[in-house]
A and B are shown apart, each in its own frame.
Chain A
Amino acid sequence: MARTLINVPPKAKRGEIITIKTLISHIMETGFRHSNVGVRIPRDIIDTFVCTYNGEEIFRATLYPAIAANPFITFHTVATESGTIAFKWTGDKGFSATESVKITVE
């Protein structure tokens, strides 16, 4: 399981714009490199990141080989109601990681 670091404020006021920061450990091997004996190293990247807020998709990103290892994705949303913000990263070689955090909206 890949390590993740998520930064979401645990509490927010209704209608407030909050910043969500996500970091995940992944090598993001481009597929363009060759080993020291000339064998091509197969591509191994995260290609999709999805964030849902109480089940509703609020952010989606498609990742490409030029993105560095350990992708850091940060974005904003409006705090509408208390609940769960869930994150899902999927990629090559069947890679899949999920994480969720609770938020209280007052």
Chain B
Amino acid sequence: MTPRWRRSPYILLLTTLLAGLWLSARAEIPLNERRSSYADMSRDSKAMQDDDTSNPGMLAVLDGEALWKTKAGAADRACADCHGDARASMKGVAARYPAFEATLGRPVNLEQRINICRAQRQNAQPFAYESKDMLALSAFVAMQSRGEPIAPPDDPRLRSFRDNGRSLFTSRQGQLNLSCSQCHDDNWGKSLAGNTVTQGHPTGYPIYRLEWQSLGSLQRRLRNCMIGMRAETYTYGAPEYVDMELYLMWRARGMTLETPAVRP
């Protein structure tokens, strides 16, 4: 029999290892260490985002502004007819979405909110996800919150959906058997194929991504990561995505919105 004094160091070592593993995994980023992936960009990309006459996302914002004022649908009504000047009425709105929609009994994101308005107030056809019009209008609305802190609503009805979003974010998926959290919570700041792994905060959506050569929504970005993990994507507008958006916005609470952001 091994004497007691020879066994205990092993037990100690094992406990330390286990504790270490438990601590390193699923650790949410401390609030004061969070940063937008803007900080990881090159000087040129930053300059592109900072100047409204060189930021290609602003082209879509101009389209969105025109849409805001255009009468649409059987009701022959424009967004501006109800909401007036977007500069005042839409300020801070994007910072609060996704929000709970009582008629559906679940949260909706900004794009879905726009389509609900189109259906109920304008009697118009919904915009397709990632269509030029949807991206333009959501970019225009979201830009009114540029510079505002992300402020997820403190709504108890959202809690279970946010928890689901968190569990999707932290669960392993796909053929590579990875979770979002393994990159964006545990390994941010390190390199992945020449790129810096970001913290994954949704501070600038819809973003103009140079790789896409176009504007794209947060859901497009989430799909992008899921394809990278060789996981099956959800369809656009799926509740899973909205729950994830909800969690991501909560995770980025207090951070400044930069829509329309430019990303490499």
Residues of A with Cβ closer than 8 Å to B?
A: 3, 5-7, 21, 23-25, 28, 68-70, 72, 74
Contact = CB atoms under 8 A, between A and B. Distances in A.
A7 B210 CA distance: 21
B51 interface: yes
Contact of B56 (A6, A7, A21, A72): A72
Interface centre among B56, B58, B60, B213 (most CB of A within 10 A): B56
B54 A3 contact: no
B210 to A, nearest CB: 7
Q: Is the interface of A mostly helix, strand, loop or mixed?
A: strand
A5 B58 contact: yes
Interface residues of B, number: 14
Contact of A23 (B56, B63, B210): B56
B53 A7 contact: yes
A72 B58 CA distance: 12
Interface centre among A5, A28, A72, A74 (most CB of B within 10 A): A5
B52 interface: yes
Interface in B206-221: 210, 213-214
Contact of B54 (A23, A25, A69): A23
Interface of B: 48, 51-54, 56, 58-60, 62-63, 210, 213-214
A69 B59 contact: no
B214 A5 contact: no
Contacts of A25: 56, 59-60, 63
Contacts of A3: 59, 62-63
Nearest to A70: B56
B54 A7 contact: yes
A68 B213 contact: yes
Given A3-B62, A5-B59, A70 B213 contact: yes
Nearest to B212: A69
Contacts of A7: 51, 53-54
A68 B59 CA distance: 15
Contact of B59 (A21, A28, A70, A74): A70
Nearest to B61: A3
Contacts of B54: 5, 7, 21, 23, 72, 74
B189 to A, nearest CB: 28
B213 A5 contact: no
A24 B56 CA distance: 8
A25 B60 CA distance: 9
A69 B48 CA distance: 14
A69 B208 CA distance: 11
B116 to A, nearest CB: 27
30 contacts: A3-B59, A3-B62, A3-B63, A5-B52, A5-B59, A5-B62, A6-B53, A7-B51, A7-B53, A7-B54, A21-B51, A21-B54, A23-B53, A23-B54, A23-B58, A23-B59, A25-B56, A25-B59, A25-B60, A25-B63, A28-B213, A68-B210, A69-B56, A69-B213, A69-B214, A70-B56, A70-B213, A72-B54, A72-B56, A74-B54
A23 B62 CA distance: 13
Interface centre among B48, B59, B210, B213 (most CB of A within 10 A): B59
A70 B52 CA distance: 14
B53 A5 contact: yes
A23 B58 CA distance: 10
Given A5-B59, A28-B213, 15 more contacts: A5-B52, A5-B62, A6-B53, A7-B53, A23-B56, A23-B59, A24-B59, A68-B213, A69-B214, A70-B56, A70-B59, A70-B213, A72-B48, A72-B54, A72-B56
